[in-house]
Structure 1
Amino acid sequence: MNVGPSGFNNAPVTRAIVIACTIFTIIFGVRGHGNQLGWSYQDIFQKLQIWKLIISAFTFSSTPELVFGLYLLYYFRVFERQIGSNKYSVFLLFSFVVSLFLEVLALQLIKDPSLSILSGPYGLIFSSFVPFYLDIPVSTRFRLFSLNFSDKTFIYLAGLQLLFSSWKRSIVPGLCGIIAGCLYRLNFCRIRKVKFPEFITSFFARLSWPSTGNLPPPSAPARNAPGNVPIFAGRQMEGNYPAPVSSTPEPPEDAISMLVSMGFDRNSARQALIRSRNDVNIATNVLLESQSR
């Protein structure tokens, strides 16, 4: 299963969330305060401890949850690359608000003083499992002990580990996140048409720490070497992906076969490779985005 280049290239929002979760968890979570961050019925409807809601949104309560949570957040950066940082920011905000509302509603219905909702960005993580299930194709299948598995199995197992990490305290926010992801998928209130202005994602790009997977900042204009084409030239962008140029060579047969093996039409796979300058990762995202329209 190919999710694109390594690192946080073209995923500044995901990078900012991963950094925030790491810092908040180190400060408030794994240093012994994790059990105090879970919020209960009294925190919302009696004490109104809003600060707990804000801190707990980015704080895992234990090191194992941090490991699995960061792994899933890092993997799901593929969706930011697919729909763009502006729309992905809306997806995250929508998932957070809706899942938080559903969690509050669940506490209101249960009214169990002993039940507290686990801290951590569970709504953001589990809402991403909806497009993961529907949009990411299986590229590899294998058998183990007479059981069929795929490369997506490991993501599902990490999600199950996180979902059942603290039983009721983690299941409730996880299920609320899945519902939020379904509502976004169903285009509730036409939310899929909304996107933030460009300056917001630029803010995330400046706020985040640099990573090894990022492209270097553009330098002064220079003449291209023969055969070289700027990858993300501003006038050649079509949607979130680069438009084809005349110098793009014919897509290699193995790249076309790889996309066809994922279930895409051969001609569509060829056109997507031409649009992406024979980058299989970007071509896959182009095909997935065209199917979701």
Structure 2
Amino acid sequence: MNGGPSGFTNAPVTKTFIIASALFTIFFGIQGRFNSLGLSYQDIFGKLRLWKLIMSIFAFSSTPELMFGLFLLYYFRVFERQIGSNKYSVFITFTILNSLLFEVIAVALLKDPAANLVTPGPYGLIFASFVPFFFDIPVSTRFRVFGLYFSDKSFIYLAGIQLLLSSWKRSILPGMCGILAGSLYRLNVFYIRKAKFPEFITSFFSRISLPSMGNPHSASTRNVAGNIPSYPARQMEAIETFWSIRNILCWLTFMNYRLQRNYPAPVQSTPEPPEDSISTLVSMGFDRDSARQALVQARNDVNVATNILLEAQSH
């Protein structure tokens, strides 16, 4: 179950969607407006709150949902690499619009004016992606735990189940709508699998995407002149996935710090960085002087300093 190159290589649309989802979730979290998200009968057929329809596509309602959601979106970037960014943009648009339509129909049928029946977040896209994941991604490894048989795909299914049941009925409904939308795409309704957007739309995502957040230590894992041992392909994939997800979390921490504190440029009154913080960054492979300067700029926050150093390496 190889996801291909590390990070967001050849997956600019996925990167843009993940960043947008993270920013919207952080914004509403800081505003304390998680409870105002979600779709209800009144939102759609009463006051027609269009902003809620839009936010229901991107913003998750809690941090655990955000973590599981971003992990699944990050893994499913493999489909963008398989069919190309153009067709994957069509897949995103088709599944989101259809799952949103099914959610509106479901809310209309249930007719509960007081309750938020649909939890927000890109559930439609995530669970629509489980359809090609089930049919098109082969099982490469099987193992047995306490008499039960599992495969390397089991971890993705478990993450999906966790997300599907995160808000119980409010999350099951959009999840089922997403699976239905993904099934329609696979059945090639209206020949949707042959549709393409104009090329300038997908090239737009490549231009606005931030620098790649791939594995910063990829060079150290190569077999150069026989001096550094090579690793099995599956171990390499696990290492690259770990670093990519770690870098995403560091970047989210950095953005959350910026939005909450709105901190200015480094000031001279910043205390000298603690030696243990410098040693922590040096142990990650960063230069001592660069680590100290990053800590000064980040006001001795190790997570923010790590993100600053990673950004500096990517340029």
Q: Same fold (TM over 0.5)?
A: yes
Q: Deviations over 1:157-210 (max 9, x none)?
A: 000000010011100000000000000000001100101121111101111111
Deviation of 1:57 (Å): 1.2
1:6 corresponds in structure 2 to 6
AA in 2 matched with 1:21: S
Instruction: Kindly report which structure 2 residues correspond to 1:98-117, keeping only aligned pairs within 5 A, or say none.
Output: 98-116=98-116, 117=118
Are 1:189 and 2:185 matched, yes or no? no
Residues paired across the two proteins, number = 216
2:87 corresponds in structure 1 to 87
CA contact (8 A) 1:123 1:177 kept: yes
AA in 2 matched with 1:161: Q
Q: Deviations over 1:73-119 (max 9, x none)?
A: 00000000000000000000000110000000000111012432100
CA distance in 2, matches of 1:21, 1:85: 18
Deviates more, 1:26-35 or 1:3-12: 26-35
2:255 corresponds in structure 1 to none
AA in 1 matched with 2:86: N
1:74 corresponds in structure 2 to 74
CA distance in 2, matches of 1:210, 1:124: 24
AA in 1 matched with 2:174: P
Deviates more, 1:31-40 or 1:44-53: 31-40
User: After the TM superposition, which segments of 4 or more aligned residues of structure 1 sit over 3 Å from their partners?
Assistant: none
CA contact (8 A) 1:163 1:170 kept: yes
Are 1:211 and 2:215 matched, yes or no? no
1:146 corresponds in structure 2 to 147
CA distance in 1, matches of 2:48, 2:114: 17
CA distance in 1, matches of 2:182, 2:4: 22
1:228 corresponds in structure 2 to none
1:222 corresponds in structure 2 to none
Deviation of 1:31 (Å): 4.9
CA contact (8 A) 2:124 2:178 kept: yes
Deviation of 1:3 (Å): 1.1
Deviates more, 1:32-41 or 1:175-184: 32-41
Deviation of 1:127 (Å): 0.2
- Note closer, same or farther for the CA distance 1:66–1:30 as it changes in structure 2 (3 Å cut): farther
CA contact (8 A) 1:30 1:62 kept: no
1:289 corresponds in structure 2 to none
AA in 1 matched with 2:150: F
CA contact (8 A) 1:13 1:89 kept: yes
1:250 corresponds in structure 2 to none
Are 1:163 and 2:161 matched, yes or no? no
1:51 corresponds in structure 2 to 51
Cα RMSD (Å): 1.5
CA distance in 1, matches of 2:113, 2:165: 21
CA distance in 2, matches of 1:97, 1:79: 19
CA contact (8 A) 2:68 2:163 kept: yes
Instruction: Kindly report which structure 2 residues correspond to 1:276-291, keeping only aligned pairs within 5 A, or say none.
Output: none
Deviation of 1:211 (Å): 1.4
Deviation of 1:30 (Å): 6.0
Give 5+ residue unaligned stretches, structure 2: 216-231, 234-315
CA contact (8 A) 1:68 1:162 kept: yes
Instruction: Kindly report which structure 2 residues correspond to 1:168-247, keeping only aligned pairs within 5 A, or say none.
Output: 168-213=169-214
Give 5+ residue unaligned stretches, structure 1: 215-253, 256-293
CA contact (8 A) 2:42 2:114 kept: no
Q: Deviations over 1:228-255 (max 9, x none)?
A: xxxxxxxxxxxxxxxxxxxxxxxxxx99
